[in-house]
Amino acid sequence: MTATGPLLRAHGLSLGYGRTPVVHDIDLDVTPGSLTVLVGANASGKSTLLRGLARLLAPMSGRVTLDGVDLGSLSPRRVARTVGVLPQSPVAPDGIRVGDLVAHGRYPHRSFFRGHRSDDDAVVAASLAATDAGSLVDRRVDELSGGQRQRVWIAMVLAQQPEVLLLDEPTSALDVAHQVEVLEVLRSEVARGRTVVLVLHDLTLAARYADHVVVLAGGRIIARGEPARTLTEDVVGKAFGIRARVLEDPDTGRPVILPRSRQVARGNDPGAVGKATLP
């Protein structure tokens, strides 16, 4: 693993909507050249944290820095060249075709002196191929299936060639083959020195592909680190209010998380571990 990319760092970061904080006092270093997965129950603050790291949401307190410089002080073009973001439910312009949407990913690289170039087309084609979406290039985005659309959006972020990719549930609509394919593509981006942060709900996939897992509950980080040390039965219980068995994948040594039964107390209170269980 290389460690040459920019360092994205949250310092005492609190985020929220209106006056209501939902993410509290987060300190987080995103290791350059690594893949970090944010996991946690619904409404635990994963998307909000990702938005804060992407400058889509201004801090209520604390700050986010890129190589030591406050993200808020950087130009939008500098941020767009460095950080690529895929929100949970992106909206495409009406009637846009796949090739044109993915080509939007190239805009941060253009300037008055550097218009469209043939290598932009090559990057767009390679990005579509990486997500198995090459055959969709002339289709309208609004006529695609949910999974096809999600792959096209991932291709757009790949075409941006950012050093840091922030992706909110990029595999939520994908069949299992395409989930693995997209996660392999993201691992190959990491092998090239890029930094990836994504939100995933599938804990076993998170454990298999992540270098670091960050577990959120109630807007706070309750555990972080390499998957085997982090996704323990205790942590999964605290975060999700379930009893789970954690086994070891004999091939990879990575954890495999098997949900067993729901506990009554649930994870948005980070101190809560359920006692009563449902049958």
Ligand X SMILES: Nc1ncnc2c1ncn2[C@@H]1O[C@H](COP(=O)(O)OP(=O)(O)OP(=O)(O)O)[C@@H](O)[C@H]1O
Contact letters for ligand X, residues 45-84 (x by CB under 6 A): xxxx------------------------------------
Backbone angles phi, psi at 35, to 5 degrees: -115, 120
Type of residue found at 24: H
- Give min distance, CB of 135 to ligand X, in A: 30
- Give min distance, CB of 149 to ligand X, in A: 18
Interaction of residue 17 with ligand X, rule CB under 6 A: yes
Which CB atom, from 84 or from 218, has the smaller least distance to ligand X?
A: 218
Which CB atom, from 17 or from 69, has the smaller least distance to ligand X?
A: 17
Say if CB 31 and CB 219 are below 8 A apart: no
Of 53, 35, 50, which is closest to residue 206 (Cα–Cα)? 35
Say how far apart CA 7 and CA 12 lie, in whole Å: 16
Q: How many residues bind ligand X (CB under 6 A)?
A: 10
Residue 70 bridge partners (DSSP): 65
* CB-count exposure of residue 188 (10 Å: 0-12, 13-18, 19+): exposed
Which CB atom, from 61 or from 135, has the smaller least distance to ligand X?
A: 61
Which CB atom, from 137 or from 272, has the smaller least distance to ligand X?
A: 272
Which CB atom, from 48 or from 230, has the smaller least distance to ligand X?
A: 48
Say if CB 65 and CB 147 are below 8 A apart: no
- Give min distance, CB of 152 to ligand X, in A: 21
Contact letters for ligand X, residues 22-51 (x by CB under 6 A): x-----------------x-xxxxxxx---
Say how far apart CA 212 and CA 215 lie, in whole Å: 10
Q: Coil, strand, or helix at residue 25? A: strand
Q: Name the site residues for ligand X (rule: CB under 6 A).
A: 17, 22, 40, 42-48
